[in-house]
Structure 1
């Protein structure tokens, strides 16, 4: 195991989490409504932002499975990660020049930054099996999320000070602090991505690797079609995928709707922002600690426990009445959010054929993005028909309970055996192609 490459991989989570915390969660929604879309009414601005998020995620859902396939064929996941990261960095930097009424430009930049962030994560996740043996993946995956929490939380704290106390930084006003926050996220993301740019793992190119972009597209589409058809060959991976659809939808809904829910029951903006910071800094040690437990007791067991805690969070959220309760729940989310996501990532990496992780993580992403529409929809629909968002938050129990039930049906050891057998068959097929190519004087290797 290349320790420098593993450290570089972990550092990338530190790098891009600044975008997730400062841009997506805290600063951009307010900036979009008050500056970029200041010339339209608030309801229209909110709709424009929602549509933009949907377009961005749709682009990611359509692009990443194909690009993941191509990354597997070329053995150069690091090259794809570099392109997506630079796309996200440049788009984030562009937010700093948005003026009043420039909502169309802001939306275009948000689509590009979403593609850069979410698309890059596909190749980042797919590197894990290339870097780390199966018995160490739970711990390394947890370290990635843990360092992401501390890195994203640290820059968010600085950025909130820039915005709320601009004079401390020699800035004239809050808007200047907001613009500088966007610049700081772009530079932070780029600077701490340099290690993975330098030490990204490389695999041998596949004999199927074509010589032209047209050939790339044809082979990529063919292999993607095969993925849809062959995933049934891996029943444990398929069960894990269905479980992921449910519990990840619940987790994402809590992330997306927590601020709106808190506002609807009277929690102030400052308390909401401080609670977000609390989640980040509690998440760091807890994800490391629980990652060690996952390595000792098994990722599946720890994941089930963390999802059970989410059910408790949802129930307690139904009865929440004051800011103190919101802080307590934010702390609980910090305890389990990172370990839920990191153990899911390591479980997936163990159940996938090692030579096609980019392809399969792309498949996980596209199906996960489409599945993620149901949680917010159920939250909103239940809240609307009952007249209370409390019932909306309580409805999320279904997603976590269904995820736990499906996880109990996953046989991890059998899934690892299935993936290993598929890898052996693929290697034998490639050897056969090379032998045939050499026999005709036209080698398939590059």
Structure 2
């Protein structure tokens, strides 16, 4: 494995985590609640933010198969990722020019930036197979997560200092400090993306002939192929009962996790917790997440992967219940630390368990479907949250609605027989191998 390319790949996680921490989880939700939508009632502003999340995820889900297939067909993953990064970073920076009452503009720019972030990750994730051999992909993937936690946490710390000490830095108000924060988030994203684009070709050498992809005939054909591919994969997955049941469980509990990440800060702002406390608490989540993610790498050896996942999801149930009663900054700090204890571990376990149930011969196809379907399901949680807040006039009941996703996901998980699912995957691979097969395929060094 080329270590220089590997480091450059991981650095992109450092770069785009500026959007994940500052724009999705911490500063922008508070800005939306207290500034952009300040003229709206608290629950209405919260529901509008939730609907913005839902619209963004639906658009990502619709466009991802088309863009991914087009990039693969033309060997342009690097180019597509560059375009996505620029679009996302510029849209993030432009939010710095919005102010009081501009909630529509903020929602539109946030949706565009999310397309750049989540859409770009489709190309970024797919590069892992090109950069690392099979036995080193898990380690490199973990390195990317670590870089993301550290990079996103470091920038969020800088942003807390800017917002908290706005007068010392010459800003006219805390609002102006937040606006500068959005601009620096976009700049950070672009600046630390440079190593990747200097070390990974924008157009893969074997596709340098532009005739490989023609927009005039390629887009429509690619769209049809993408739809057929998704339907074909769904039919394939249904042939593996344990894998399919696990996917249903994943869709549900992953939706709960995604909703907690995207709605925590704006929920805190609505119930009266100050912006500085909210952002500082989410910084705690970042740095608590690093050691506890490593801990969850060891936990499956002690108690089993499925039990470890139960433990993390059960902890989320406690988090939601405690969140309902939250009414002080201290409570939010405690909740932030609790989320940090299980956030990285639950996502890591969900991915590794899935990998055990997937036939090696269909790994790329099935992981692509998991990514796509996860984005579709992630649109439901914020929508339910937003509708509940709009109908009840309070987000306290909306936060309880997230319990449905965790509890139903855990129930479906009880129906999954992991050993049987692993046997089904192995047996499928054995059937697909030729009689003289004796070495793994799919990667050459």
Q: TM-score, normalised by structure 2?
A: 0.78
Deviation at 1:89, TM superposition (A): 0.7
1:69–1:356 CA contact under 8 A, matched in 2: no
Q: Which of the residues 275, 283, 302 maps onto 2:289?
A: 283
Structure 1 partner of 2:24: 24
Structure 2 partner of 1:109: 109
Deviation at 1:283, TM superposition (A): 0.7
The alignment status of 1:161 with 2:161, answered yes or no, reads: yes
Structure 1 partner of 2:369: 360
SS state at 2:167 partner: helix
Structure 1 partner of 2:225: 222
SS state at 2:52 partner: helix
Q: Specify whether residues 388 and 36 from structure 1 end up closer, same or farther in structure 2 by C-alpha distance, changes over 3 A only.
A: closer
Deviation at 1:387, TM superposition (A): 8.6
Q: Specify whether residues 333 and 191 from structure 1 end up closer, same or farther in structure 2 by C-alpha distance, changes over 3 A only.
A: same
Q: Specify whether residues 212 and 192 from structure 1 end up closer, same or farther in structure 2 by C-alpha distance, changes over 3 A only.
A: same
Q: Give distance in 2, aligned partners of 1:298 and 1:75.
A: 40
1:75–1:204 CA contact under 8 A, matched in 2: yes
Deviation at 1:118, TM superposition (A): 1.4
The alignment status of 1:248 with 2:254, answered yes or no, reads: yes
Deviation at 1:11, TM superposition (A): 1.7
Deviation at 1:176, TM superposition (A): 2.4
1:138–1:346 CA contact under 8 A, matched in 2: no
2:47–2:389 CA contact under 8 A, matched in 1: no
Q: Specify whether residues 52 and 281 from structure 1 end up closer, same or farther in structure 2 by C-alpha distance, changes over 3 A only.
A: same
Deviation at 1:154, TM superposition (A): 1.4
Give per-residue Cα distances to partners, 1:270-304, cap 9 Å, x unaligned: 44333211111111222234346669998666544
Q: Specify whether residues 61 and 423 from structure 1 end up closer, same or farther in structure 2 by C-alpha distance, changes over 3 A only.
A: farther
Structure 1 stretch 393-402 or stretch 145-154: which is displaced more? 393-402
Deviation at 1:323, TM superposition (A): 4.9
The alignment status of 1:95 with 2:95, answered yes or no, reads: yes
Structure 2 partner of 1:438: none
Give per-residue Cα distances to partners, 1:7-53, cap 9 Å, x unaligned: 22222221111112112222223333444445666666555444433
Q: Give distance in 2, aligned partners of 1:170 and 1:248.
A: 42
2:15–2:192 CA contact under 8 A, matched in 1: yes
Q: Give distance in 1, aligned partners of 2:131 and 2:301.
A: 17
Deviation at 1:116, TM superposition (A): 0.6
SS state at 1:167 partner: coil
Deviation at 1:165, TM superposition (A): 1.0
2:252–2:405 CA contact under 8 A, matched in 1: no
Q: TM-score, normalised by structure 1?
A: 0.78
The alignment status of 1:127 with 2:133, answered yes or no, reads: no
Q: Give distance in 2, aligned partners of 1:195 and 1:386.
A: 42
Q: Give distance in 2, aligned partners of 1:328 and 1:104.
A: 33
Q: Specify whether residues 406 and 11 from structure 1 end up closer, same or farther in structure 2 by C-alpha distance, changes over 3 A only.
A: farther
The alignment status of 1:405 with 2:432, answered yes or no, reads: no
The alignment status of 1:273 with 2:279, answered yes or no, reads: yes
Q: Specify whether residues 320 and 418 from structure 1 end up closer, same or farther in structure 2 by C-alpha distance, changes over 3 A only.
A: farther
Structure 2 partner of 1:233: 236
Deviation at 1:112, TM superposition (A): 1.1
- Across the aligned residues of Structure 1 and Structure 2, the Cα RMSD in angstroms comes to 4.0
Q: Specify whether residues 230 and 397 from structure 1 end up closer, same or farther in structure 2 by C-alpha distance, changes over 3 A only.
A: closer
Structure 2 partner of 1:151: 151
Q: Specify whether residues 375 and 301 from structure 1 end up closer, same or farther in structure 2 by C-alpha distance, changes over 3 A only.
A: farther
Structure 2 partner of 1:428: none
SS state at 1:277 partner: helix
Q: Give distance in 2, aligned partners of 1:260 and 1:361.
A: 28
Q: Give distance in 2, aligned partners of 1:139 and 1:299.
A: 18
Structure 1 stretch 43-52 or stretch 114-123: which is displaced more? 43-52
Q: Give the aligned length.
A: 424
Give per-residue Cα distances to partners, 1:147-169, cap 9 Å, x unaligned: 21221121112112212211332
1:19–1:185 CA contact under 8 A, matched in 2: yes
Deviation at 1:337, TM superposition (A): 0.5
Deviation at 1:347, TM superposition (A): 5.2
Q: How does 1:9-408 map to 2 (within 5 A)?
A: 9-37=9-37, 45-46=45-46, 48-200=48-200, 210-234=213-237, 235=240, 237-259=243-265, 270-291=276-297, 302-314=308-320, 317=323, 323-346=329-352, 351=358, 353=362, 356=365, 359-360=368-369, 363-372=372-381, 376=385, 392=401, 394-402=403-411, 404-405=413-414, 408=417
SS state at 1:172 partner: coil
Structure 1 residue runs without a partner (length 5+): 425-446
Structure 1 stretch 374-383 or stretch 227-236: which is displaced more? 374-383
Give per-residue Cα distances to partners, 1:73-119, cap 9 Å, x unaligned: 33432222211111101111111222444444333322211111111
Q: Give distance in 2, aligned partners of 1:377 and 1:43.
A: 8
SS state at 1:411 partner: helix
Q: Specify whether residues 355 and 398 from structure 1 end up closer, same or farther in structure 2 by C-alpha distance, changes over 3 A only.
A: closer
